[in-house]
Amino acid sequence: MSVTAHPTPAGTEEYQPVFVGATLEALGEILTRYPTRQAALLPALWLVQGARGWISDRNMAEVAEVLGLTPAYVKGVVTFYTMYHQHPVGRHFVQVCTTSPCNVCGAEDVVRALLEATGANELGATSPDGNWTVIEVECLGACGFATPILVNDDFIESVTPDKVPDLVRKYK
């Protein structure tokens, strides 16, 4: 399938469509689960993010074309959900829960330790080596195992500041 909805001026880098080969096949299987093409939007966005780490405007245009939606509609959905990245993030994307139950167990100290050990230094910023982005998130649903963090798709429980340096080394 080729993307023709949003041609770009001659001379710009050619767009590499995401929905080709195995990814297109995966989408085809997903479409059989729902009575509408629109319903495949969240899974399609996950496929894009899985393939290239984030979702650009041109990716959104491609998803729109593949599913018969408009780019503006797709963007409206992307911006609603906090897990879709609209900009590139570090190779390791860290989400730290700081909502009340974790907060009273020291989650903010874990955030500080992670910012320091990764060199990201500021929430949402990416470390100079491009390896780490750390953000605070609301409730990860593992309150009894404070503080839970997600490093990419790895869900790690009971993180304390003293465990952070080893943990960061493991992902180097």
Partner 1 sequence: MGYPHKPHPRETVVLSRHFGEADARTYKGWVKRGGYEVLAQALAMEPGRVTDIVKESGLRGRGGAGFPTGLKWSFMPKEKNKPHFLCVNADESEPGTFKDREIMRWTPHALLEGSAIAAHAIQAEVVYVYIRGEFTEPWDFMARALAEANDARVFGAIKIYLHRGAGAYICGEETALMNSIEGKRGNPRIKPPFPAAAGVFGMPTTINNVETLAAVPQILKHGAAWYKGLSLSSPKSTGTKLFSVCGHVQKPGNYEVTMGFPLKDLLYDLCGGMRPGRTLKACIPGGSSVPILNREETESCLLDYEGVVDKGSMLGSGGVIVFDDSTDMVYQIMRLARFYAHESCAQCTQCREGTAWTTKILERILSGRGTTADLDLLLDLSENMTGKTICVLSDSCAAPVVSGIKKFKSEFEDYIAGRRKPVMVA
Tell me whether residue 16 or residue 100 sits nearer to partner 1 (CB atom): 100
Tell me whether residue 14 or residue 153 sits nearer to partner 1 (CB atom): 153
Check residue 121 for interaction with partner 1 (CB under 8 A).
no
Among 53, 101, 106, 119, contact with partner 1 (rule: CB under 8 A):
101
- Which residues between 147 and 166 bind partner 1 (CB under 8 A)? 150, 153-155, 157
Tell me whether residue 41 or residue 114 sits nearer to partner 1 (CB atom): 41
- The Cα 93–Cα 131 span in angstroms is 8
Q: How is residue 25 written in tokens?
A: 């096949």
Minimum separation from the CB atom of position 45 to partner 1 (A): 7
Q: Which stretch binds partner 1 (CB under 8 A): 8-16, 18-26, 75-83, 112-120?
A: 75-83
Task: For residue 40, give every residue at least 6 positions away whose Cβ sits within 8 Å of its Cβ, in sequence order, or none.
Answer: 27, 30, 31, 33, 34, 67
Q: Which stretch binds partner 1 (CB under 8 A): 12-20, 41-49, 86-94, 125-133?
A: 41-49
Check residue 36 for interaction with partner 1 (CB under 8 A).
yes
- The Cα 168–Cα 50 span in angstroms is 22
DSSP string, 106-149: THHHHHHHHHHHHS--STT-B-TTS-EEEEEES--S-GGGSSPE
Minimum separation from the CB atom of position 8 to partner 1 (A): 26
